[in-house]
Structure 1
Amino acid sequence: MRYWNQELWRLAGLVIVLGLAGWVIDAPGFGIALGLAIYLAIHLQRLRSLYRWLTRHPHDEPPAASGIWGELFDKLYKYQKAQRITQKRLRDTLKRIQDSSEAMSDSVVMLDRRGDLEWWNSAAERMLGLKASHDRGQHITNLVRDPRFIDYLNTRDYQEPLTLTSPIDERRVLQFQITLYGDDERLLMARDITRLHRLEQMRRDFVANVSHELRTPLTVLAGYLETYIDNADQLPSRMARGLQQMQSQTLRMQNLVNDLLLLSRLEIDQRTDDSVPVDVGDMLEAIRNDAESLSGGHHHLSVDIDDVGALMGNEKELHSAISNLTVNAVRYAGEGCHITLRWRQYGDNACIEVEDDGEGIDPVHIPRLTERFYRVDKGRSTSTGGTGLGLAIVKHVLLRHDAHLEIDSHPGQGACFRCVFPPERVTPAQSIPRIQEA
């Protein structure tokens, strides 16, 4: 501000002096005009120096000047110097980020808001076949053309990763994960999980093969035990109790083998291709009748059906999933509890709920309930005859039907297991085929 006031006083002094000189010769206007012209010429010269400095030698020291121009040159030079330091720091940071990304074994691809390729590391070239010479600026779907990846990119729901084969090597399995950042830009990461995929496939094959091989000897054992028990009066009395326990454990092993085989099949076939309209009301009534037989009158079971429509899916698999949830409620909710099977609208979706007012579950266990053989209370679960695979089967059945499982529970407040289905899985009830009576 001090230099600005000085400049105003300098202009006023020049105009007054030359105006008085012009008044002496009877031409005050000429003197004032001459003063303004001199002042303008000085500032044009300073402006020319500023322009030459910024365009030709911006990194050199600024031109020598005094007053407001000297202050302006000094501030511009300090600002440029600070900007150069900031830019260098940013370049160094960007280089470190790029170097660290280059050192990663996972692919890293930066996409703009339209999905066009901006930058990628060398791992992306090996896994995805990207070439810097001609792929920069291409849309990612021009290079990764799998329909599942295109749906994953467009749905913008990136909570779960996507597993696909590599677009350049079918023997390699990749796991894709997208993260949103900045101005709706996306960071795509791809991880090679070929080894894990093979190990998982070996595990599935091992479980399926062993379970299949165990089925025959267990059937033989069960048959002989049933024969011995039917003729128990011909055997020593002390063997009767042992036969009953052997039959109980054989039955438990048969149930375990059957659940393992079912789970293996569900894991291998991720989607169901035999969807038909399922009357959920009839299915829930059948499950309730079976659960009442298991309960033996120790629980109150009811069915609540809203006018939602029919559910498109595999009726056998859906029956198995909801039956597992209901049997769990009968086994673990506690005697005298009320269990409700419900089919209703749930926001824009539809859901089947199995709700009880029993003992409830500590929320700390909920994230792990769908793991194989995970038990909240191991002693009680063993005594009830459960295999520990029921909720894992439920999870995979729902995945095959584009659905998911939600669990709400607290100790002493009961539990609600909610199977949420997308709206495209629901059809009008009139679409269910009916057998006409004669």
Structure 2
Amino acid sequence: MYEPYPVPELAREHKKFRYSSLWAFAKQDLRLLAFLLLIAACVGIGLGYFWICIFSAFLIFFTLQLRSLYLVNEWISNRPYDVPPNLHGIWGALLFNVYRAQRQERIVQAEMVGLIDRAQSSLVALAEAVVLIDELQQIEWWNPAAEKLLGIQTLDRGRNILTILRQPSFIEYFNHIDQAPDGLKMKSSAFEDHYVQVKMTRFGGESRLLVAYDVTRMHNLEQMRKDFVDNISHELRTPLTVLSGYIETFLDQEDLNPRWKRAFDQMQAQNKRMNALVNDLLLLSRLESNKQIAKNQIIEMPSLMNQLFDDAQAYNVDYHHTLNLDIDSHCDLIGSDMELASAFSNLITNAIKYTPKGGTITMGWHDDGEQGIFTVQDTGIGIDPKHLPRLTERFYRVDSARSRQTGGTGLGLAIVKHVLMQHGAYLEIESKENQGSIFKAIFPKERLYQMTE
């Protein structure tokens, strides 16, 4: 509890002259000067030394002012935390204001210290690791959870954080935190088979706040899900292949009853849909796994764009859209041609499927010197803006009934998102209901390749 300092007699009456003007305090000095001059005049007239006495009065007044100034300076210099001397006049007003401001500052300081103590106590109680890192990348402070999750020890104060957390992925994240807004998941340096999610935020220039929490359970559950999807997808392939073979055998019979033919046609359509779903699941599983295809191929974009355009024309036979191809960039892409072709094809087929017959689809490849942009623009049904943030989630559908009619698996945009992420790119969507959509795959400058002559 903060205990107030002793208050001098002058300060106890602060309410009386808090709102008084400086003139109210100056009048005390003027009355003293007038009193001294009056006494000096009377004495000077009686003794016959009028001006000498008047000068002596001024000298005495000036000496008293110098004494007050000395007391003020001595208190400020040597005893600032003691009760100030009880002076009158302008010097008393000065002391009162200095002392009052000093007390208010101490109260604020005490409150700030208390607030900081409470904040530190709260951070100490957190299960999440919290680390303060200064502009020189040195550790300033951490809570006990940081010792358990990150292996920081007492002797590490003042050490460079990169000498403690030496994983290449963390060093890359530390140097480019703006490129990973969701943070980084990495193995714990303190415990084997444990994973932590690390998130850093800049403050006060180049200082950083690091927050980390244990995500081992979530990681294990995610791995179980991936393994389950991967295994079940492989297991489904065999029965689907057998069913597909028997269905085709029956459909090839010339004397097949029309009623049975209709049933087998529907069975074949559903079998194809299941095959498409299994293939998408396997592709998504492969994209998420660590066994990634090398992404350093130089992809000739004019050739790829023409191939995609030809494939789109074949797919467009039943839709009768107008297809346009717009290429105004001389840059090629560096990446995996198979994965990028799959991602671009997903965007194009989606545009074709979800655009009413007779629409217009435009595929484009552009660059602005800093980024490469693959675009697919349609005049389709459009998407309500509230759905845009969730479009790349697995199995998320804006209209489930329409997706079933078009044979969609709900995984196309999820695949696109993963492919782009592995190429350092991202998907941008602009859409308005009944006015069409624009899907943009935006690649960083590092992924662009331009042949030099």
Aligned to 2:306: 285
Give 1:405 shift.
Answer: 0.3
Cα distance per residue 1:319-368 (max 9 Å; x no partner): 00000001101110111111111000146211100111222111111111
* 3-state secondary structure, aligned to 2:156: coil
Say yes or no: does 1:225 pair with 2:247: yes
Say yes or no: does 1:416 pair with 2:438: yes
Say yes or no: does 1:154 pair with 2:175: yes
Q: Equivalent residues in 2 for 1:36-435 (5 A)?
A: 38-39=60-61, 41-54=63-76, 57-131=79-153, 133-157=154-178, 159-233=181-255, 235-269=256-290, 272-296=293-317, 298-346=320-368, 348-429=370-451
**Using the alignment, how far apart are the partners of 2:291 and 2:117 within structure 1?**
42
User: Does the C-alpha gap of structure 1 residues 40 and 201 become closer, same or farther in structure 2, counting only changes over 3 Å?
Assistant: farther
User: Does the C-alpha gap of structure 1 residues 308 and 169 become closer, same or farther in structure 2, counting only changes over 3 Å?
Assistant: farther
Structure 1 contact 272–401 (Cα < 8 Å) conserved:
no
Cα distance per residue 1:178-234 (max 9 Å; x no partner): 22334554322112111111111110011001101111121121112212211252x
User: Does the C-alpha gap of structure 1 residues 237 and 304 become closer, same or farther in structure 2, counting only changes over 3 Å?
Assistant: closer
User: Does the C-alpha gap of structure 1 residues 274 and 52 become closer, same or farther in structure 2, counting only changes over 3 Å?
Assistant: same
Give 1:125 shift.
Answer: 1.9
**Using the alignment, how far apart are the partners of 1:19 and 1:177 within structure 2?**
82
Identify which range, 40-49 or 211-220, moves more after superposition. 40-49
* 3-state secondary structure, aligned to 2:334: strand
Give 1:117 shift.
Answer: 2.4
**Using the alignment, how far apart are the partners of 2:48 and 2:369 within structure 1?**
93
Give 1:300 shift.
Answer: 1.1
User: Does the C-alpha gap of structure 1 residues 325 and 64 become closer, same or farther in structure 2, counting only changes over 3 Å?
Assistant: same
**Using the alignment, how far apart are the partners of 1:417 and 1:241 within structure 2?**
37
Give 1:128 shift.
Answer: 1.6
**Using the alignment, how far apart are the partners of 2:186 and 2:67 within structure 1?**
68
* 3-state secondary structure, aligned to 2:441: strand
* 3-state secondary structure, aligned to 2:186: strand
Identify which range, 397-406 or 75-84, moves more after superposition. 75-84
Structure 2 contact 139–161 (Cα < 8 Å) conserved:
yes
**Using the alignment, how far apart are the partners of 1:332 and 1:412 within structure 2?**
11
Output the amino acid matched with 2:100: K
Give 1:306 shift.
Answer: 1.3
**Using the alignment, how far apart are the partners of 1:274 and 1:26 within structure 2?**
108
Identify which range, 161-170 or 191-200, moves more after superposition. 161-170
**Using the alignment, how far apart are the partners of 1:110 and 1:270 within structure 2?**
36
Structure 1 contact 21–31 (Cα < 8 Å) conserved:
no
Give 1:273 shift.
Answer: 2.4
Structure 2 unmatched runs, 5+: 1-21
**Using the alignment, how far apart are the partners of 1:273 and 1:264 within structure 2?**
16
Identify which range, 158-167 or 325-334, moves more after superposition. 158-167
**Using the alignment, how far apart are the partners of 1:12 and 1:268 within structure 2?**
96
Structure 1 unmatched runs, 5+: 432-438
CA RMSD of aligned residues (A): 2.8
**Using the alignment, how far apart are the partners of 2:434 and 2:123 within structure 1?**
50
**Using the alignment, how far apart are the partners of 1:150 and 1:309 within structure 2?**
31
**Using the alignment, how far apart are the partners of 2:227 and 2:161 within structure 1?**
35
Output the amino acid matched with 1:205: D
Identify which range, 52-61 or 135-144, moves more after superposition. 52-61
TM-score by length of 1: 0.88
Structure 1 contact 308–350 (Cα < 8 Å) conserved:
no
Give 1:26 shift.
Answer: 8.2
* 3-state secondary structure, aligned to 2:267: helix
Give 1:374 shift.
Answer: 0.8
Identify which range, 193-202 or 118-127, moves more after superposition. 118-127
**Using the alignment, how far apart are the partners of 1:143 and 1:44 within structure 2?**
62
Aligned to 1:436: none
* 3-state secondary structure, aligned to 1:222: helix
Identify which range, 50-59 or 355-364, moves more after superposition. 50-59
**Using the alignment, how far apart are the partners of 2:52 and 2:283 within structure 1?**
106
Q: Count residues in correspondence.
A: 428
**Using the alignment, how far apart are the partners of 1:139 and 1:20 within structure 2?**
81
**Using the alignment, how far apart are the partners of 1:385 and 1:253 within structure 2?**
10
Structure 2 contact 369–445 (Cα < 8 Å) conserved:
no
* 3-state secondary structure, aligned to 2:393: coil
